[in-house]
Amino acid sequence: MNAMTQPIRVILNTREPGFRAKTYLSYVALFTLLAGDAVRYSIGWWGWGILLGLLFGVTLYYFFTGEPKRIFKQIPWSLAALLVLMPISIIYSNYQMFSAIASFAQYATTLFGLFLVAAFSWRHLLRIFSNVVRVILVASLAFEFVAAAIVRGPIAPVFKNYEGDTPPAPAFYWTRGHLFEGDRIQGIVGNSNILAFIAMIGLVVFAIDYAVSTTPKWLSASSFALAASMFLLSKSAGVGFAIAAIAVAAVVALAVEGKDRDLRHRIYRWVWACAGVIALVVLLNRAEVFAFFGKTPDMTGRSSIWRKVLELIFDRPIQGWGWISHWMPGVKPFDGLVVIDSVPYYQAHNAYLDMWFQLGAIGLLLLLILITVTFVKLWRLGVRHTNPLYLWPMLVFFGLLAQNLTESRMLLEIGWVLLVLMAVKANDPEDSLEPRGKTPKRARLLGRGLRRNQSQPRRDR
């Protein structure tokens, strides 16, 4: 490797006042948001609520003792409008008390996203997400091994999420212990789709971590292999399509770097055209495609869910039914709305339909504007900057958008945090980014023997 292709040397300033406390806070909070069911199954709903209250208080302290005005100025108007519309919807909500609670919860979750923007650089965030995802995946594999090899059967939650002594359906088990049987595994998060989503994030952050960080190469490579294995074992069709979209986006981003504007846009048009053709082929052959993932042609009941949600949407297409984020059991019209194999479902399994349902056409339009503007900014950053570091926000965000075609998790917990984080941090000023190199990312990624980044003072905020 010559001097032109050596990675930029960067320091993680761990001596900054409060840095370690903020880092520990981010670890605990991200784990709680990524693996919420693992926390609820372990310490119960009351314990989970107390933990969230403590995390909210500490986050509030660190955010407002920092530079809140700077971060508030970076909030996109579309995100601000959504946050204003949520409590306004209480006025006409079909479930006013729950809309008020959900609005407060959304503000608390938003605050944590803003805290991440204020406290950490993109490089810091890469390390934090890598470490948290790694812990969840390792713990999930160990948990599944215990269930399959030692317990040799399903494991119920310590704090039950059902009535009676035994789960009313297999889906209520923490894990069903299928590691050695070829069926889907659930990990400590208790849900195959969530486990696959976490593995998807892992595939991106571990790959970028391998290329740009001081993490030992063997650790990044083995973590990437673990994430790939957990994705395959979770057998999530929706996340599978999202990973395919991420792979295409990564190839295109690397291919167009350094090209003139006309050629870049010509490539974009060809890629979108090919994507449309592939989507049409998948739609026409969905039975075979979904069978490969162990799914029914309607994606395990999703088409019936969407039909029911659309019926409700058309009753209130403009204003929606009121903000609630995650549907609440026992609340009309959710109670008994969707029940598949004795398991009630409390989401529309499509974030865009869910937003339309809850905040109407206005809310959907604001969400579409927000994600479009955010993606364009992240794409430009990932393509134009010569450091591979700036690929990970764009790729994770793209995966989030694709995965939420079959899930609604972008509207709550880690999904909303990622949306806020990406939307606000995409507006970081240019001088807060790492210096640009003199060679494109392709040369740096393909260069042999990438040296680890060495520590030296720099401004990376």
Q: Averaged in consecutive runs of 10 residues, what is the pLDDT profile of the chain (461 residues)?
A: 44 68 95 93 92 96 91 96 96 94 96 96 95 97 93 86 75 85 90 94 95 88 96 90 92 84 83 82 69 63 86 93 91 85 84 96 97 95 90 96 93 95 94 79 60 40 39
Task: Report yes or no on 459 lying in a domain.
Answer: no
pTM to 2 decimal places = 0.90
Which among 198, 219, 202, 199 has a CA at the least distance from the CA of 210? 219
Task: Report yes or no on 458 lying in a domain.
Answer: no
Task: Report yes or no on 453 lying in a domain.
Answer: no
Q: What is the pLDDT of residue 18?
A: 80
DSSP 79: H
Q: What is the pLDDT of residue 291?
A: 66
Task: Report yes or no on 204 lying in a domain.
Answer: yes
Q: What is the pLDDT of residue 162?
A: 73
Task: Report yes or no on 454 lying in a domain.
Answer: no
Task: Report yes or no on 260 lying in a domain.
Answer: yes
Structural domain span for residue 210: 3-446
Q: What is the pLDDT of residue 74?
A: 95
Which among 124, 112, 117, 110 has a CA at the least distance from the CA of 19? 124
Angle between helices 391-403 and 351-384 (to 10 degrees): 160
Task: Report yes or no on 405 lying in a domain.
Answer: yes
Residue 331 φ then ψ, to 5°: -110, 130
Total domains in the fold of the chain:
1
Q: What is the pLDDT of residue 174?
A: 87
DSSP result, 131-153: HHHHHHHHHHHHHHHIIIIII-S
Task: Report yes or no on 115 lying in a domain.
Answer: yes
Between the alpha carbon of residue 263 and those of residues 54, 266, 267, 270, the distances in Å are: 52, 5, 6, 11
Q: What is the pLDDT of residue 289?
A: 66
Q: What is the pLDDT of residue 273?
A: 87
